[in-house]
Amino acid sequence: MNANYLQTPIAYLKGVGPNRAETLQSELGIGTYQDLINLFPNRYLDKTHYYKIRELQRSSAEVQLVGKIIHIKTIEQKKGKRLVATFTDDSGEMELVWFRGQKWIRENLKLNTPYVIFGKCNWYSGKFSMPHPEMELLATHEKGLKIAMQPIYPSTEKLAAKGITNRVTNKLMQQLFIETKGQFTETLSPSLLHELKLISKSEALFNIHFPKNQELLAKAQFRLKFEELFYIQLQLISKNLSHKQKIKGYNFDQIGEPFNDFYSNRLPFDLTGAQKRVIKEIRADLGSNAQMNRLLQGDVGSGKTIVALMTMLLAIGNGFQACLMAPTEILANQHFNGIKELLEGMNVNCALLTGSVKKSARRLIHEQLENGELHILVGTHALLEDKVQYKNLGLAVVDEQHRFGVAQRSKLWHKNEIPPHILIMTATPIPRTLAMSLYGDLDISVIDELPPGRKSIKTVHRFDSNRLKVFGFIRDEINKGRQIYVVYPLIQESEALDYKDLMDGYESIVRDFPQPNYQISIVHGQMKPADKDYEMERFVKGETQIMVATTVIEVGVNVPNASVMIIESAERFGLSQLHQLRGRVGRGAEQSYCILMTGHKLSSDAKTRLETMVRTGDGFEIADVDLKLRGPGDLMGTQQSGVLNLKIADIIKDNDILHTARHHALQILKADPSLEKPENLVIRHTYAQLVKHKNIWTYIS
């Protein structure tokens, strides 16, 4: 079947017409024959077996029987009436019941004529009954296209209201197969079909819509899931490979004095095996003549900053400058102070540029950047301003990538004729499956072990009724000289309510921890930035022992002396947020604690989140659970939720198929980057069609 034929508007399909076409388009996004063929069923009713009445079990399964109606009557009940028919086969009898549409049913039912009925059975006063069965005359049933397993398609209230029921969708699908004669263009190469023992595209589409049995359905699902994931991976990998070929990068062929000096004489602790592995991967990129585009994932506290700093020292050792961009001033300050401390006594010039830097200091920074005296510039979005010109920027490190738009990153690129190498750091571990789909065009490095000597944070779940005990524990910790965070959720829709929760909590803490013995800071979204910074600063300096805050402290605040994180209404936070918040403590040598406070009423998802937090501190495991609970869309935030708008595959459940698809896409592109070999022409053609007719998956980065 010609692929262009499948672009025919759906209104032209027999049985659709302009009105139905409009509804199908607005409700399910079906505009063409192609869209309809790709409307895959959600589930199937197994109609491969005809039961006898005596074989029926008291279960909730839907069953199919063949028999006759021998008697029909109307029974009055408290509200209205019901229609009851006696249905028999050669093994016994049962009742069929209707509570609505009785007049029409009574007029149309034929007595003593064989029917096939389908539905759920109830056991009621000693016999089986089936409410509102699906019914078809046996003669009609035998003539129809044999659908052994009945597909149930996605639907909406509006579709049902307009009369586009599952039965109608099914009929339209049958009509489409009649018009296309069930012949569809093959989209995978013969070698892939052979190697993976896949059924053909035509067989797969027929068996996904009209499966004869479970086995054929499983084969069809595997084939179509593989194809969908294969083309997504093909796009991502080819983007990555062509990026490496087209976009030349500076070749850092020396290790250089700054790196060697730091590694041999100034490392504050031994690198972990994971850090060494990641530095090796980065060094290979920097010496490859192509621009590096790498995502560095690591859990809170796994030592990403040291890896980023050593990468910057490699750039400096090759005669280039480096910059590090962070999403907030607090974070930029922290990076700057941390880097300055690590570079103490080395001949490396480092400066900080944020919105608060005075004009005179800015001028000096701009001068030193342009004449090359400045080696490392740390800052916020201020680094993107047009005034900021480098002598030769060789490396840009971006912290917490999801807070920077693609447009902002490309601004960094255009600071030079040859774009700098890019290293993106994220402390929100992304499950491997999701990373392969969302960042398939970036190379990924993972630091998956914590530095030696870091104590794991003890996490417990406490109910509000234990509050007095929790306050007693806080007192003990403060007496030991430690500091405490108390965090309240902030959910935009109910800002007034959140503010009230925060202020009520603050007042109760002030009552239990009165001045002058205790000093308390408060930080929330409605404060002026200067006031926020002032309160943060007091806490960082140790002038206040308790910091009451909404989640503004989520990213990157580093107070090694803070040993307790109390999260109020913890059930209102997502898992990754809870994990990020917990990562604010445990930064010093002392044992740290995270206390999750909730009421007694908890949903099952909330229970799973809390149990996961108490059980593990592994960010990647937490991200996996989060992915299973929330699905890929929510995990990446709104602008990315449409990314995985998959027709049939499921990133979580079809993890194995995704790995297989990526492996084969990689093999094919390595051997034949432009898909020019005869055996790959099918793939090349399909890929071109996908790009032409769809804004094929619009991926990030």
- Coil, strand, or helix at residue 445? strand
| pLDDT (average), residues 79-101 | 92
Q: Are 132 and 153 members of one domain?
A: no
- What is d(CA 240, CA 73) in angstroms, rounded to the nearest whole number? 71
* Residue 143 in tokens: 């003539």
- What is d(CA 230, CA 696) in angstroms, rounded to the nearest whole number? 13
Question: Phi then psi for 453, rounded to 5 degrees?
Answer: 90, -10
Count CB atoms within 10 A of the CB of residue 436. Answer: 21
Q: Are 549 and 413 members of one domain?
A: no
Does residue 131 lie within any of the structural domains? yes
Q: Are 4 and 108 members of one domain?
A: no
Give residue-wise pLDDT tens across range 619-643.
888 888 887 787 655 444 433 433 4
| pLDDT (average), residues 657-673 | 92
- Exposed (0-12), middle (13-18) or buried (19+): which is 440, by Cβ within 10 Å? buried
pLDDT score at 479: 94
Last residue of some domain: 138, 157, 189?
138
Does residue 206 lie within any of the structural domains? no
DSSP assignment of 613-663, as one string? HHH---HHHHHHHHHHHHHHHHHT-HHHHGGG--SS--TTTTHHHHHHHHH
Q: What is the DSSP letter of 320?
A: -
pLDDT score at 494: 54
Does residue 469 lie within any of the structural domains? yes
Instruction: With cut-offs at 50, 70 and 90, classify the pLDDT of residue 302.
Output: confident
Of 100, 42, 52, 36, the closest CA to residue 74 belongs to 100
Does residue 30 lie within any of the structural domains? yes
Q: Which residue has the higher pLDDT, 214 or 491?
A: 214
Antiparallel, parallel or unpaired: β 483-487 and 546-549: parallel
Q: Are 21 and 101 members of one domain?
A: no
- What is d(CA 110, CA 293) in angstroms, rounded to the nearest whole number? 71
Q: Are 275 and 403 members of one domain?
A: yes
Q: Are 412 and 533 members of one domain?
A: no
| pLDDT (average), residues 594-600 | 94
Does residue 648 lie within any of the structural domains? no
Q: Are 507 and 599 members of one domain?
A: yes
Of 86, 146, 137, the closest CA to residue 116 belongs to 137
Distances (CA, A) of 585 to 137, 304, 482: 70, 17, 11
What is the pTM (predicted TM-score) of this model? 0.65
Q: First and final CA of the chain: distance in angstroms?
A: 36
Q: Are 538 and 410 members of one domain?
A: no
- CATH of residue 519's domain is 3.40.50.300
Q: Are 525 and 559 members of one domain?
A: yes
- CATH of residue 41's domain is 1.10.150
Does residue 389 lie within any of the structural domains? yes
Give residue-wise pLDDT tens across range 393-425.
999 998 865 444 555 556 666 666 788 999 988
Of 217, 76, 204, the closest CA to residue 148 belongs to 217
* Residue 567 in tokens: 């999260």
Least confident of 145-159, 509-523, 592-606: 145-159
Note whether 655 and 199 are within 8 A (CB).
Answer: no
- CATH of residue 119's domain is 2.40.50.140
Q: Are 134 and 263 members of one domain?
A: no
Range of the domain at 121: 59-138
Does residue 590 lie within any of the structural domains? yes
Distances (CA, A) of 137 to 70, 95, 145, 172, 642: 15, 17, 14, 21, 44
Does residue 292 lie within any of the structural domains? no
Structurally, the chain folds into a number of domains equal to 4
Of 573, 428, 565, the closest CA to residue 489 belongs to 573
Is the confidence at residue 695, as pLDDT, over 50? no
Last residue of some domain: 566, 592, 616?
616
Q: Are 468 and 596 members of one domain?
A: yes
Residues in the chain: 701
Last residue of some domain: 616, 631, 662?
616
Q: Mean pLDDT over all residues of the chain?
A: 85
Question: Phi then psi for 219, rounded to 5 degrees?
Answer: -65, -40
* Residue 173 in tokens: 């699908």
Q: Are 278 and 403 members of one domain?
A: yes
